[in-house]
């Protein structure tokens, strides 16, 4: 049984505009795993992610990420905390006015004092890792959807974070591009030794990459366990989620 939890959430409740979004949510995510947080639209996945990133405050010590409550850190602690995690956003969040190389380099310029020539070498290395050789001087507007995703992934891992958050990374991709991105994330996770937290509704992605499943329904965790345990579960909501995702 694993004990090395990177994320620990205990009895987290979130109320927004007088509406209960999360109710008594508790779960753990372990070092070296790919943990998929699942749930239908409106289940509370995005609100949970924002608590894990410290964008929403949690009461007391309900949220622990790498041993810290991100919403209770001072400015200096926050800066160090954010250098230790990467975030792969759903829409890529690249700046259209900057080249791909400049986009990927942003975290290095913001958080380090590395010389420009070293930053350029590091950026080109990460672009090679995501199969985007030759895109350094291109602009986001000239990239395909799959290439945009990979450029955003390169930026998310530029600081070699031990923890990577992926927010609906495969959204909008065709099945072939989705499978390619999943395999890339899995290969990078193993190569860089990262722990990955993936918010997704893509059942095919879950089957390819997930070690553990956290299933949220109407703001509550109704299943927590390994992928094989999830596939054997008799939980009706979870079974229906998998059934719809497979098109049964």
- DSSP state, residue 68: B
Query: Model confidence over 71-106: pLDDT tens digits?
Result: 888 888 888 888 899 999 877 688 999 999 999 999
d(CA 136, CA 99): 7
Same structural domain, 226 and 241: yes
Same structural domain, 136 and 29: no
CATH of the domain at 209: 3.40.50.300
Same structural domain, 19 and 55: yes
Last residue of a domain, one of 110, 134, 160: 160
Query: Model confidence over 40-63: pLDDT tens digits?
Result: 777 788 889 988 988 887 676 889
Last residue of a domain, one of 135, 160, 185: 160
Query: Model confidence over 144-155: pLDDT tens digits?
Result: 888 899 999 999
Q: Which two tokens stand for residue 192?
A: 């860089």
Same structural domain, 170 and 79: yes
Same structural domain, 59 and 28: yes
Strand spans (E) along the chain: 5-16, 19-30, 34-38, 63-65, 85-88, 163-167, 195-199, 212-217, 220-226
Mutual angle of helices 116-129 and 100-111, in 10-degree steps: 120
Same structural domain, 172 and 152: no
Same structural domain, 71 and 171: yes
pLDDT number for residue 2: 64
Same structural domain, 36 and 131: no
Same structural domain, 203 and 233: yes
Same structural domain, 130 and 71: no
pLDDT number for residue 3: 63
Would the pTM of this model clear 0.75, i.e. be above it? yes
| Domain coverage including residue 135 | 93-160
Last residue of a domain, one of 101, 127, 160: 160
- DSSP state, residue 97: T
Same structural domain, 197 and 150: no
pLDDT band at residue 215 using 50, 70 and 90 as cut-offs? very high
């Amino acid at each position: 049984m694993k004990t090395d939890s990177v994320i620990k959430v205990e009895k987290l409740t979130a109320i927004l505009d007088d509406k209960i979004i999360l109710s008594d949510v508790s779960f753990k995510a372990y070092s070296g795993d790919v943990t998929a947080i699942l749930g239908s639209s409106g289940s509370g996945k995005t609100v949970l992610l924002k608590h894990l990133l410290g964008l929403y405050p949690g009461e007391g010590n309900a949220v622990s990420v790498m041993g810290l409550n991100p919403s209770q850190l001072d400015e200096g602690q926050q800066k160090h905390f954010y250098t230790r995690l990467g975030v792969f956003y759903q829409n890529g969040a690249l700046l259209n006015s900057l080249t791909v190389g400049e986009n990927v380099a942003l975290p290095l310029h913001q958080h380090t004092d590395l010389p420009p020539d070293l930053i350029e070498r590091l950026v080109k290395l990460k672009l090679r890792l995501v199969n985007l050789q030759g895109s350094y001087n291109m602009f986001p507007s000239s990239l395909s959807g799959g290439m945009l995703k990979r450029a955003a992934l390169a930026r998310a891992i530029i600081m070699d974070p031990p923890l990577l958050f992926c927010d609906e990374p495969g959204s909008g991709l065709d099945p072939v591009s989705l499978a390619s991105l999943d395999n890339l994330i899995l290969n990078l996770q193993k190569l860089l030794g990262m722990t990955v937290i993936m918010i997704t509704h893509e059942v095919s992605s879950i089957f390819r990459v997930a070690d553990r499943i956290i299933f949220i329904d109407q703001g509550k965790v109704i299943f927590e366990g390994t992928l094989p345990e999830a596939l054997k579960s008799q939980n009706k909501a979870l079974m229906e989620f998998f059934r719809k995702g497979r098109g049964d």
